[in-house]
Structure 1
Amino acid sequence: MTWQMNVDPFDNIGLSALVAALPIAFLFWALAIKRMKGHFAALGGTGIAFLIAVFVYGMPLDLAALSTLYGGAFGLFPVCWIVVTALFIYNMSVKTGQFEVIKNSLASISDDRRLQALLIAFSFGAFIEGAAGFGTPVAITAAMLAGLGFNPLYAASICLIANTAPVAWGAIGIPIVVGGQVAGIPDLALSQMVGRTLPFLSFLVPLYLVILMAGWKKGLEVWPACLVSGGSFAIAQYFSANSPLTAPLLPDLIASITSIICTVTFLKVWHPKESWHFADEPKREGKAKLLYTGGQIFRAWAPFIILSLFVCAWGIKPVNQALDQITKTVFNFAFPIAGLDQMVIDQAGKAKAAVYKFNVLSAAGTAILFAWFFSIVVMGASLKTAGCVARDTLVTLKWPIVTIATILGFAYIMNFSGMAITLGYAVARTGAAFPFFAAILGWLGVFMTGSDTSTNALFGKLQAVTAEKIGIDPVITMSANTCGGVCGKMISPQSISVATGATGMVGRESEIFRFTFKHSIGMAVVVGGMHMLWAYVFPGMVPTYVKPVAAAAAAAAGAVQAAVNPVGLMWLGIFVAIITCVTFLARRLGADLEAPTAGHDEVHFH
């Protein structure tokens, strides 16, 4: 029997929203004030949300339980799948000694922690975000910074804050594409609006990061490098996000590559007078001596090059569709959740689908797993070593996995019960101030779900409808939702769990939350203010576009999905050939630096 969602159980949207916000308030309290471990905070918040759904919103017990379990399953796959496989590669690099080569290659550019943060957390992290998204950049870059010798708290927090700049175009533009589809706005127009907002933040984030690390005086010492890093990124991001040739798929990749090239080139000719390190580190001056050949350095970096190539290949639409079609011929990878699928009727009278997609081949985590297989060959590791690394990585991540699965259960019960929509309706009552609060709604959405894509899917229609009611262009509020969402990424329990698992800070999630919270809300307020300006002061910032016909767009999308495109297999073959060449060259050019063989079963990570 179906259940009709009631988004205003008290017949007073303000009071209903206040009750709906209690689970979120608990998470804030648990992490910021009580300093609970992440998994306990997530379990508590999910429990409160479950009780409110059943006893306040009247959701049947079985539907509440199934929706929570459905979210937990999504947390395990594909989200945890991505994080686990990404750390397989990093931990293998550490185990085989290849990461020592990476450390030296970076120190030869600069041993200054401020500049290393710019290259790894900001520029390289943006590249991984653009290729894979869903926690991968934080997992990889936080682990790398901690491996370089960064204070783990700063390694985790800096990477979370740096991840603000690229999130909107993560995973080959998925948040923009989904937001446009849900709101009925061309994805190019949404990309252009976001691309006229986030470059302002992107320009400032590098300097912001180094000031957080080193303080005002020491941070400002490297302002020229910050200007090059953030300026090149912001300019490339602006033009690629506004161009029909590259938007919405490629802005992150183009901006990050531009930033890496410009920053490394600049650091060849400029360096601060004194290198800065954390207080507990021994002082060193300037650049380190390069101890390895170009071939050895290429071999050490090859696993991350291979990872980037694989996730880029998986992000190409025809490749992804071809992999899905291959999966369908082996087994049915879409499983309707019996008892939940089509059983909840939302506020618009539409039955909510609950279909768990186990798209094992096309998932980004599988691309990273294949990259790991190739990396085993590149690093010269034995199968025993690979098995030890995989086992110990899973042991290290056991509590982050629990936290991620639980917080996705929290997000799904908030969605299926109607509590999330209640919050959206309350925000929609803000009238002319809605462009500002639209950003706060996106911020809340990503805090709950850990994903800008998810918050665009959750609130996209509400954002568009409310904008039309108050007489402003829906692309403004959808941009606010997207940009506000990227500011919430750094405090999402899901993202923080990834960071703690990567840096050995499991159980210390509250420390990272307390570190990032004020920066998160501050950026969200700035973004909200910018969209107020776009709506009422600088309307020329809003792109002109023709709204698509929804039915025709949906039919076209269905036709594309149904087609088996051999072009996808062709592109996949090209990428595999390139990756095979990289693997062969890495082994051959770096053959004089052999990896140590596994002499024991235990692998210890920081």
Structure 2
Amino acid sequence: LGGLRWRAHVAGLTSWAVALVIAVSVYAMPVSMALATSVHGLVYGLFPIVWILLCAIWMYQVTVISGRFDDLRSTFFLISDDPRVLGLLIAFCFGGLLEALAGFGAPVAITAVMLIAVGFSALRAAVTALLANTVPVAFGAVGLPVLIAAKTAGLPVSAVAPISGRICALLCLVVPFLLLAVMDGRKGIAQCWPIGLFIGVIFGAVKWVVSGTDLYNLTEIFAAVISVGAAIAFLRVWTPIGGQEAVPRVGRPLDADLEGEAVPVAPADTTGLTRSRILMALVPYILVIAVFSIAAVPAVKTSLTATDVTVGWPGLSGLLTTAGTTSPHATFTFSWLSNPGTLLALVAVLVGLIYRVSPRDLFGELWANVVKLRLAMVTIGSVVALAFVMGDSGQTLALGLWIAGAGAFYPFVAPVLGWIGTYVTGSDTSANLLFSSLQASVGDQIGHKELLVGAGAAGGVVGKMISPQSLAIAASAIGIAGSESTILRAVFTWSLLLLVFMCLISGLASTPVLAWILP
């Protein structure tokens, strides 16, 4: 993607083929098993991952064809007429809320199109959405990644969640400034640093506190909601300068060949907005919050997951983990009702009914998006197939074992395992399944067991933005097929910088310098 600038679906299929050959020829994986786990990965990539992406974009498109999205854009400008401030609120705060409730790429898809609506160029919107979708990942999907990290390592979640939360809380002090740099360069930082600092401090402080309580799984929900409310109050006493001058800059294409000429954005007209129009414009996102919040209630969640259908996957009945237990890939769970994509589909239908969109237009838009996302489906399916083959054959573990050879210096590189795992699999949860037991084993040898597991889970958040899955989702959301390589080159340096930052925090936390951040 980055060096040869291949199209994402070609790069994905080629990489899977290389991993398949290595699995069979070097790691002695039976051909039939390697093919079976590849097909399993392909199917998992289509459902639930592509299904979630498809329904997230479908929900957005329903608001567009109904004409209500223009009102939403105008509503944003009631908060501030500065696109950089709106970028922080949409990508960082609202995106964090979506990650907490849904995850699986939905925050990137939804916030990218929202940013375009307030005047961002397509690629700038994608890069902003990906960079913002870092901080909340460890506690995304109602705390699932950090819970899995603790379970896999054989530790109580109360020992791991505060460490991941505090490392990511410190990350909150950095990411808003990087977002301002992406949105508007040095002027963005110079003119909007107070709101960036304020949001970062509030978001981070809430993460620091809540992640250490029994409500750790609601960490991102509390952080997102409180930071939005605090930011709106802050904007009543502080007004950024240079907002109007920034409008053409945030709308300037990052790659004119891909994006074409900048599209002039007309100033938002808020004079005709009434309370009812504002409420109707917010309906889709109120429904997203309501539906996912209800689905997260333990009794409701249990009822939904009770409808899951689990079947053995042909050809993988003998597949084992390194611990000698049956691999989770030996079965496939069809979560047809509890899946976030299905919940987003429900929201899309409800929005269509409320906005009085005809069934023909409603489901016609769904089919139009299926056609539009066909190459993204190939990309995501092949990348997940790649992840399954690398994981089940032992290739990903080999990378982890190699890094674990760092010895006493290991706390400084512990986040790298999470970074690699999330990059390969596209999921911090999957990365924790792969590496948390290894982190715990190294911790048994050199000490700092809880720190290593928590740092690994935190490290995965900065690998999310460069995952081919995330790149394909972002490219599809902005409607520029084949832009994955351009997006990767734009975000890769940020990912490395944030990884180095997290490695320093993790390493120094194992010394008296930052040991005070540990619970």
Q: Quickly name the TM-score band, shorter chain normalised.
A: over 0.9
Instruction: Give the fraction of aligned pairs with identical amino acids, expressed as a percent.
Output: 34
SS at match of 2:311: strand
**Which residue of 2 is the match for residue 574 of structure 1?**
none
**Which residue of 2 is the match for residue 257 of structure 1?**
225
- For 2:375 and 2:342, how far apart are their aligned partners in 1? 22
Deviations 1:517-554 (A, max 9, x none): 011011111111111111123334332xxxxxxxxxxx
**Which residue of 2 is the match for residue 521 of structure 1?**
496
Select the residue among 129, 132, 139 that pairs with 2:109. 139
Give the deviation of 1:430 after TM superposition. Answer: 0.8
Give the deviation of 1:289 after TM superposition. Answer: 3.5
Superposed, 1:58-69 pairs within 5 Å as 58-69=28-39
Task: Confirm or deny that 1:57 pairs with 2:27.
Answer: yes
**Which residue of 2 is the match for residue 268 of structure 1?**
236
**Which residue of 2 is the match for residue 303 of structure 1?**
284
**Which residue of 2 is the match for residue 434 of structure 1?**
410
**Which residue of 1 is the match for residue 259 of structure 2?**
none
**Which residue of 1 is the match for residue 484 of structure 2?**
509
SS at match of 1:478: helix
- For 2:428 and 2:100, how far apart are their aligned partners in 1? 13
Is the CA contact (8 Å cut-off) linking 2:119 and 2:247 kept in structure 1? Answer: no
**Which residue of 2 is the match for residue 411 of structure 1?**
387
Task: Confirm or deny that 1:500 pairs with 2:468.
Answer: no
Give the deviation of 1:236 after TM superposition. Answer: 1.3
The worse-fitting range, judged by mean Cα deviation, of 493-502 and 207-216 is 207-216
Q: In structure 1, give the amino acid aligned to 2:236.
A: K
- For 2:421 and 2:477, how far apart are their aligned partners in 1? 24
SS at match of 1:197: helix
Show structure 1 runs of 5+ residues with no match.
1-30, 544-606
Show structure 2 runs of 5+ residues with no match.
253-261
Is the CA contact (8 Å cut-off) linking 1:108 and 1:288 kept in structure 2? Answer: no
Is the CA contact (8 Å cut-off) linking 2:74 and 2:268 kept in structure 1? Answer: no
Change (3 A) 1:339 1:258: same
Change (3 A) 1:151 1:285: closer
**Which residue of 2 is the match for residue 389 of structure 1?**
365
Q: In structure 1, give the amino acid aligned to 2:230.
A: C
Deviations 1:345-392 (A, max 9, x none): 443333424100002111111111111121112212111110121111
- For 1:289 and 1:361, how far apart are their aligned partners in 2? 39
TM-score normalised over the length of structure 2: 0.94
Q: In structure 2, give the amino acid aligned to 1:151.
A: S
Select the residue among 319, 325, 332 that pairs with 1:356. 332
Q: In structure 1, give the amino acid aligned to 2:47.
A: F
Change (3 A) 1:130 1:346: closer
**Which residue of 2 is the match for residue 121 of structure 1?**
91
Is the CA contact (8 Å cut-off) linking 2:98 and 2:107 kept in structure 1? Answer: yes
Deviations 1:382-408 (A, max 9, x none): 111101211111112111121111111
- For 1:290 and 1:454, how far apart are their aligned partners in 2? 48
- For 2:280 and 2:448, how far apart are their aligned partners in 1? 50
Deviations 1:137-164 (A, max 9, x none): 0010011112333111110011100011
Change (3 A) 1:282 1:425: closer
- For 2:444 and 2:489, how far apart are their aligned partners in 1? 37
Task: Confirm or deny that 1:181 pairs with 2:157.
Answer: no
Q: In structure 1, give the amino acid aligned to 2:219.
A: P
Is the CA contact (8 Å cut-off) linking 1:233 and 1:258 kept in structure 2? Answer: yes
Superposed, 1:68-79 pairs within 5 Å as 68-79=38-49
SS at match of 1:505: coil
The worse-fitting range, judged by mean Cα deviation, of 217-226 and 421-430 is 217-226
Residue correspondences, number: 504
Give the deviation of 1:283 after TM superposition. Answer: 8.7
Superposed, 1:108-257 pairs within 5 Å as 108-244=78-214, 246-247=215-216, 249-257=217-225
Q: In structure 2, give the amino acid aligned to 1:301.
A: L
- For 1:540 and 1:267, how far apart are their aligned partners in 2? 33
**Which residue of 2 is the match for residue 479 of structure 1?**
454
Larger radius of gyration: 1
Is the CA contact (8 Å cut-off) linking 1:271 and 1:286 kept in structure 2? Answer: no
Is the CA contact (8 Å cut-off) linking 2:167 and 2:455 kept in structure 1? Answer: no
Q: In structure 1, give the amino acid aligned to 2:505.
A: M
**Which residue of 1 is the match for residue 445 of structure 2?**
469
Give the deviation of 1:490 after TM superposition. Answer: 0.5
SS at match of 1:33: coil
**Which residue of 2 is the match for residue 316 of structure 1?**
297
Deviations 1:432-463 (A, max 9, x none): 11112221111000000110000001111111
Q: In structure 1, give the amino acid aligned to 2:227.
A: S
- For 1:104 and 1:541, how far apart are their aligned partners in 2? 42
Change (3 A) 1:433 1:100: same
Deviations 1:5-30 (A, max 9, x none): xxxxxxxxxxxxxxxxxxxxxxxxxx
Select the residue among 440, 447, 468 that pairs with 2:423. 447
Is the CA contact (8 Å cut-off) linking 1:50 and 1:64 kept in structure 2? Answer: yes
Superposed, 1:29-44 pairs within 5 Å as 31-44=1-14
- For 2:222 and 2:247, how far apart are their aligned partners in 1? 30
Task: Confirm or deny that 1:402 pairs with 2:378.
Answer: yes
Is the CA contact (8 Å cut-off) linking 2:475 and 2:481 kept in structure 1? Answer: yes
Task: Confirm or deny that 1:84 pairs with 2:60.
Answer: no
Give the deviation of 1:287 after TM superposition. Answer: 7.8
Is the CA contact (8 Å cut-off) linking 1:108 and 1:290 kept in structure 2? Answer: no
TM-score normalised over the length of structure 1: 0.81
Give the deviation of 1:88 after TM superposition. Answer: 1.1
